[in-house]
Structure formats: structure tokens, C-alpha cells
Amino acid sequence: MNRLLRISLLLFALASTAAHAKTPLARGTGGAAATISEQATQSAITILDQGGNAIDAAVAAAATLGVTDPFSCGIGGGGFMVVYLAKDRRVITIDHRETAPAATTPTLFIEDGKEMEFDTAVASGLSVGVPGTVRGWDEALRRYGTMSFEQVLAPAIDVAERGFRIDANFSTLVARNEGKFARFPAAAALYLQNGKAIRPGTLLRNPDLAGTYRLLGRDGVDAFYEGPLARAVVDTVNRPPTAPGVSVRGSRMTLADLANYEARVRLPVHSTYRGYDLYGMPLPSSGGVTVFEALNLLEGFDLASMSRAQVEHLYLEASRLAFADRDAYLADPEFVDAPVAGLLSKDYATQRRALIDASHAASGPVSAGDPYPFQQDPSQPLRPTTRVPQPESAHTTHLTVSDKDGNVVAYTFTIEDWGGSGMVVPGYGFLLNNELTDFDFTAPHPNIPEAGKRPRSSMTPTIALKDGKPAFSIGSPGGSTIITTVLQTIVNYIDLGMPMDQAIDAPRMSQRNGGTTDIEPGFASTMQAKALVARGQRWSDQPEEIGAANALVFNADGTVTAVSEGHRHGVGSAQVQTPKR
């Protein structure tokens, strides 16, 4: 390790252990980062200070989140990265979503003619997709970064070795997964003490993960997809190492499944809204298409002249219609020819908008529309029926980074459920995903399991340009509520004129074409909620925190504002580089 890197890591360690509260809002003139973890945000700033660009810093932050937020993300999963390249003035996306092993069939989660219990499917080898995160990081660094794996992983290695004090939020997440982690000794050894969640204030170290990151730094991406680490992943998935008396279903993943995994560099999905150019992830992420369709619906209303209650009512109804189309049509584009052009057509939005009652909510789920006539090729025969959407775990993480040269990264990645499948790869310190439960369990449906297929995702990393320059970035975790969180935040920011921190902190409502709308604790009794009830909106009787968003805003005066959560998920962390004197 060179002298400069050692000095930088020492400064990083001092900054990480300094006694100060997390700051969810920062403004300045340098590069910026916003994540849900103070250590991860600091990792990004450390890399920027060493001369790395936004892509380098995003990978550094992501690797650190694999240490400090391991139940949401890590190298055992996959994700989607949206990148604005300032020099080229263009947006690209890197799809490193997990894939189904080659042995997968459409009946993956069918037993005795019935759908397997969702929780049973989650905590099993059957649910584990071939991880894509490491391949995605390598693709990003090789194509668009300036640093090596060894350099960008160094801050995360430091956190994993030195450890960090877990907070109440971390301990609560472990407590919610005690039963799942107790099934797997390697997970229990990391996160449980005498069968119970490790307590707030515990110093948590993960030397196995530090060793894994060192292996990747030394030997590169192939160390994950070939050799002893790959064999350990396959063995864990196929013959899950469980506690005495515990038995869970295994998979049929092979070393060839890992060796053959490829990330995809895809063109972003693009739309416009009130003077902004919006860029998001294309399929197999449904997020960009669904958010942009909903915004097309809202664009036909003069929201600036309306009350907040009226705007929010229309937001909920637009989301309802967009989700009906999302559930009917969207899936992996290498397996399904989804009518994306039709769904994003402004003319289709005009037709679909006529179904919205501006004064009263729909009484329940609505049917999907017919976007095919709005495409150049209208011949597709699929005309789906409305069905209850497959459950989707509400856990993931999002980060966003910019640099002094104007590059921007919006990155959402995941292992799916809190704690993924619950299986830690023994000796390597990371949890494996349960991403295959994002497939629909029962055919016929565009999103059924198939060999090599990527399950449909809701991840919605988004970058907005105005007059050809970055205006803001936004993204969130939350399963299918990711889509509504991003949509509502954009409406709050653009249409309701809220500063981004207020747009993120505002109470969230998530309507996904159901009979009721998901809300957060305490919302139902507010005047805001009652004004919406008067318009026929109905709330779920199980309120729960929704999302944990992060954003950057690029201000007209050349400064950047980094924004994270002000109260959700234990409060987020935002930083902007300190100018060098």
C-alpha cells in the first residue's frame, strides 16, 4: 500500500470516529455524496479527495454500505447504476441485476401444484440469483472510473476491520430477522448473540468481508466469479449450511452460472416533464418506465394552480394507473418484448388520463391499458387481465455521488429482503440475495422464472437534466414503494415547489393499484390525510416507514446540495467536499 493511500486511510479513520451527529443536508462547491450511512458517505468523499471521480466514489460508498448496511445490499446481490458523463454530456446505465441459474424453470416456486409460501421461498437456496454486484462495479470502474479495485475498496476494508458501533436501527433490523439468521450459523455468528440481536452500541467487525474485499482488490473481478470464492457461493446455495435440526431447500446453481454472468450497459429510459429531461433505468427495472408514465399522466393537469390535497390525490390516481400497466407488461427485455414506447407515449397518457376522476379516487384496482396502438408496431397480441401483484420485499439502498467535473451517479443496489436469503457465505462475510422471489410465482405472466432471466425490479435511480445540465438526482430503497417514493418526491419538488430536503422528508403515500394506499405511522390522523379521505382515498391499516431516499440538487449558482433522510432509517448522511486551501 503506498504512502498516500495510508495517509488517506488514516484521515478517513479519524473522520469516521469523530464524535459528531450525522448530517442529512450539506451544500458546497465540490463533489458531493448522500447515503444512508455516515461511513459510506465519508468513503465517497475520501475517494473524491484522493482525486477519484464520481464512479470511483460510488463504488467505494457501495462497498462500505456492504459493511454498515449489510441487510439491504452487498456483493451477494445486484443493482442498477445511472451515470451522467459530463465530458460526453450523455447518460448511460449499468444493469447488474441478478440472473436465474440455468437450471431454473417456470415452476421454481411451485410445490404440489401450489405456490410456495413466500417466506419459505425467501430463506432458501431457491431464491438466490447469480450475484451481479461485483461484475457491475468492475464494469463501471473499467469503463468510466479512474481508480483500481484495490483503491476504491480500501475505505470499506478499513471500516470492516476496525468495526463500527451499531445503532438502534441496525439492532432493530437484526431483531426482525432473528428467526431467519438463526437458521444459518454463519449469519448467527455475525449478527446474533445467544440467539438474540446484537445490541445498540456493539462494535461490529467483519474481518471475513475485509478479507473478501482484499481478495477482489488483489485478483480482480474474476476472484468472485471463478475459483474458491465462486465454489463457496455455489456450495452455500445448493447445500445451505444450517443449524442442527433445520432444513431449507437448496438450488441447482453451478460454477458455470457464475462464470457466465454478464453485466449490461444499456441506454437509459428517457422522458420529459415540465422542462426537465428525465433519465432512468430501462427494463428489467420497471422503475423508470412506471415513474415516467405517471408523470406523463400528471403533466396534463395544471398542478401549480391546485391545492396540495388536489395534487396528492392526482398523484395517487396516476400511480394507480401506471402500476396497472407495470404489473401487466414489464419484465426482462431479453425475454419479453414489452410495449415501452407505447407506455411512454404522451398520446397514450392523454387517453389514459381520461380515466382519472379529479374529485374522487377509484374504488379499487384498475385494469391495464392498451399501449400497443401507440407504438410503431401495434401488432402485439398480449391483452392481460388484472391480477394481484406478487409480494415484493421493501428493502434495498440508494446512494448518489457527484464530482468536481460534473459527473453524477445515481445507484440503487440490493440483496432484496432484509438480510436477503439469510445465508452468509461461510468464511467470506457477506449475505446472499433472495432476488428470485421478485419473479411472479405462477404462469402465465411476463415475469415468470426462466433460465438466465433477470427478475423484474422496482429500483428507480434517476437523473434529471435541465437545459442540458444536471438538475437533480433521486432514488430510494423500498421494494415496489421505490417507484412511488421517487414519483412523489419529484412531484413535491417540481410541482409543489418544496426544497429537496422537505420533498424527501414529507409524509409518504404509496398507491400501487390496490384497494388501499400504504402510509407511514401517524399520517392517518393528520389534516393532510383527512383532506384526501374526503376525495375517497383509503389507507392501509398497517402503517410502516416507506423508503430512505438520497438526492443531489445542482443549484444555479454552481453549488451542489446533498440531501439524505432527515428522520427515516436512523437519519441519513450528506457531505460536500471541503474546498482545498
Q: Which residues are catalytic?
A: 396
Residue found by looking up cell 488514516 in the block: 10
The number of angstroms, rounded, from the C-alpha of 401 to the middle of its chain's C-alpha atoms is 15
User: Letter for the amino acid at 7?
Assistant: I
Radius of gyration of the chain (CA): 22
Spatial contact of 425 and 48, defined as CB atoms under 8 Å apart: no
Cα–Cα distance, 520 to 23 (Å, whole number): 23
Q: Name, in order, each residue with C-beta under 8 angstroms of 378's C-beta and a sequence gap of 6 or more.
A: 342, 372
In single-letter form, the type of residue at position 581 comes to R
Left if phi > 0, otherwise alpha if psi is -120 to 50, otherwise beta: which for 367? beta
What are the Cα distances from residue 148, in Å, to 48, 56, 73, 364? Answer: 14, 8, 21, 52
Contacts with 528 (C-beta within 8 Å, 6 or more apart), sequence order: 308, 309, 312, 507
Where do the H-state alpha helices sit in 222-339? Answer: 222-225, 227-238, 255-259, 287-299, 308-329
In SS3 terms, 329-365 reads as HCCCCCCCCCCHHHHCCHHHHHHHHCCCCCCCCCCCC
Give which of 50, 76, 75, 49 is closest to 62, Cα–Cα: 75
C-alpha cell at 468: 442540458
- Distance CA(486)–CA(477), nearest Å, equals 10
- Grid coordinates given for 303: 398542478
Burial of 143 (0-12, 13-18, 19+ CB in 10 A): middle
Rounded to 10 deg, the angle between the 3-17 and 149-162 helix axes is 40
- Between CA 524 and CA 3 the distance in angstroms is 57
Instruction: Answer yes or no: are the C-beta atoms of 16 and 38 closer than 8 Å.
Output: yes
Count how many residues are written for the chain: 581
What angle is formed at CA 481 by the lines to CA 540 and CA 363, rounded to 5 degrees?
45
